[in-house]
Structure 1
Amino acid sequence: MRGRNAAPDIALPILALLAGMVSIQSGAALAKGLFPVVGAAGVTTLRVGFSALILLAVWRPWRRSPERGEIGAIALYGAALGLMNLLFYLSLRTIPLGIAVAIEFTGPLAVALVGSRRARDFAWIGLAVLGLGLLLPLGETSTLDPTGAALALGAGLCWAAYIVFGQRAGRAGGGRAVSIGMAIAALVVAPVGLVEAGADLFTPATLATGLVIAVLSSALPYSLEMFALTRLPRPAFGVLMSLEPAVASVAALALLGERLAPVQGGAIACIVAASAGITLANRRSGGRRQEPRDVG
């Protein structure tokens, strides 16, 4: 009886996790469609601002203020979160969504590889470097915008910092720290968004779209990911999360009409494989999976 129930028990969290990834990337595609109205920084302000309001309402962190020693970690976490979102959306102005996600994915991949000394891990490093080399505008024939690629790399660096600072901030109280960090992120990006968009940021239609983007990119996928995380083996969860660049490419094709060249598709496949491989290697050696990020 347990054998017959095992497949449905695993299938539901897998579907929930895939639905969460589709939701995140659909939110990113919708955000990119709003760029002509309020700009990338304006969209970032709406997404992070509404996400902060949602998280503050859920966790109500004012019931217990952070201790003095916790404030610095939470502030760094929030600043990294805000910059990560801002740089990612700025990169989407000139490069396809799937490529931006793949380049940005090198941030957590680098964190996972830091300190690794196993020979097989260097093979995953080589595969990731190969993927990046195929994506980045390193040759004369490349059509990828250098500025957009640099911004995506910057988002990946901020993602790495988000993971490091997030682990420290998480000791201050999990969801409470996340809600405060998101509020700090909103304060970081809001001045840039207000300068770029001005009063256009507050039209009813724009605010409504921003709320939808925040729900698709934060509230819904994080709920689905948490459901999956508590029901899937951690190696399986990590490997499935590695599919996100591929999911982003499919979402961009379906919603934005962004087609990738065969070489670019192969490069994304290399980064997905490298991320899945190092995830499995870390799990087998007792490493911990990094929590989902708030981007994309």
Structure 2
Amino acid sequence: MRVPSAHPEAVARRTHPGPVSPVAWPYGRTRLSGVATMVGSALSNQTGAAIGSLAFPVLGPVGVVAVRQYVAAIVLLAVGRPGLRTFTRRQWWPVLLLALVFGTMNLSLYTAVDRIGLGLAVTLEFLGPLGIALAASRRRVDACCAAVAVAGVVTLMRPRPSADFLGMGLALLAAGCWAAYILLNRTVGRRIPGAGGPAAAAAVSALVFLPVGLTVALRHPPTPAAVGYAVAAGVLSSAVPCLADLFTLRRVAAPAFGLFMSINPVLAGLVGWLVLGQGLGRPEWAGIGAVVAANALSISVSRD
């Protein structure tokens, strides 16, 4: 749910116009500050999603996502400062696709959060970057990681009376969009320097959601509290993670960054429980743990 930091390589390519040379697990204050920033960024991301869901009764997931897109556009345009008038057709088409994927990813995820809860939705969405990482490898350990992840998903999606398969399907759609985002972001990063490409995509997505937001506001007049929740979601899940990534990737190696990203499903489950009262049973926690362990093992082995 963060904007748009789906993959360590993608983030590094986006936030740094030139080669990225982060210090790999330095010691002292730099290491501690990098780790603290990563944990704080992940916690901010999931807390923002939980706060945004408090506006669902008034704005619905669509309205909250619209506000999030506006906030993301403002932040990324300020950071990336894209020269839109200089973009060529070859640069524009992946940007437009990225905007489509970006909006669809957030909308499907927030709708899934509304139906199945924050922890389960974020865990299933996390299969997107995990699938990209595993698909690109031919190592035996990654086959084992894939098997562990599949076991976790089967546990999470097992048939039961309260199962919401539409919500789970939307979370898997968000996972597919996240995977597509990673691939498109690589293309955009090769064709547009710095953060200009993702910033342009965020701006296009915000323009698409502008009539959506106006329609929601006219049909369901928002309360100040609902607007505040939605804006807070945009700040905590968009602005803070984006700025934190700029800080972290100068201090921590990309594999370590990816390893710490795997705590997001765990934090989502904890925040969903503490803030929203969305309790998870032992099977759900076991499934989340399996997906997180698969990602962590895959990245840890790749560092060796």
Encode CA deviations 1:79-119: one digit per residue, 9 max, x unaligned. 11110000000101111101100000001111111132211
Q: CA 1:191–1:110 in 2, change beyond 3 Å: closer, same or farther?
A: farther
* Alignment correspondent of 1:294: none
Give the aligned residue type for 1:260: L
Unaligned runs of 5+ in 2: 1-25
2:298 to 262, 265, 278: 278
* Alignment correspondent of 2:126: 105
* Alignment correspondent of 2:17: none
Three-state SS of the structure 2 residue aligned to 1:61 is coil
* Alignment correspondent of 1:159: 178
Unaligned runs of 5+ in 1: 285-296
Tell me how far apart the structure 2 counterparts of residues 18 and 230 of structure 1 sit (CA, whole Å). 16
Tell me how far apart the structure 2 counterparts of residues 51 and 37 of structure 1 sit (CA, whole Å). 21
- 1:37 pairs with 2:71: no
Tell me how far apart the structure 1 counterparts of residues 51 and 144 of structure 2 sit (CA, whole Å). 36
The 5 A counterparts of 1:216-231 are 216-231=236-251
* Alignment correspondent of 1:291: none
Tell me how far apart the structure 2 counterparts of residues 109 and 220 of structure 1 sit (CA, whole Å). 23
Q: How many residues of Structure 1 are paired with residues of Structure 2 in the alignment?
A: 278
1:180 to 200, 213, 219: 200
Percent identity over paired residues:
36
TM-score, structure 1 as length reference:
0.87
Three-state SS of the structure 2 residue aligned to 1:93 is helix
* Alignment correspondent of 1:146: 165
Cα drift, residue 6 of structure 1:
1.9
Cα drift, residue 280 of structure 1:
2.4
Tell me how far apart the structure 1 counterparts of residues 76 and 29 of structure 2 sit (CA, whole Å). 31
Tell me how far apart the structure 1 counterparts of residues 88 and 301 of structure 2 sit (CA, whole Å). 37
Tell me how far apart the structure 2 counterparts of residues 279 and 22 of structure 1 sit (CA, whole Å). 21
Tell me how far apart the structure 2 counterparts of residues 265 and 94 of structure 1 sit (CA, whole Å). 18
8 Å CA contact 1:51–1:182 kept in 2: the answer is yes
Q: For the aligned residues, what is the CA RMSD? A: 2.0
Cα drift, residue 63 of structure 1:
6.7
8 Å CA contact 1:79–1:188 kept in 2: the answer is no
TM-score, structure 2 as length reference:
0.85
* Alignment correspondent of 1:290: none
Tell me how far apart the structure 2 counterparts of residues 267 and 232 of structure 1 sit (CA, whole Å). 29
* Alignment correspondent of 2:9: none
- 1:20 pairs with 2:58: no
Cα drift, residue 182 of structure 1:
0.5
Encode CA deviations 1:165-192: one digit per residue, 9 max, x unaligned. 0111122123111111111222344444
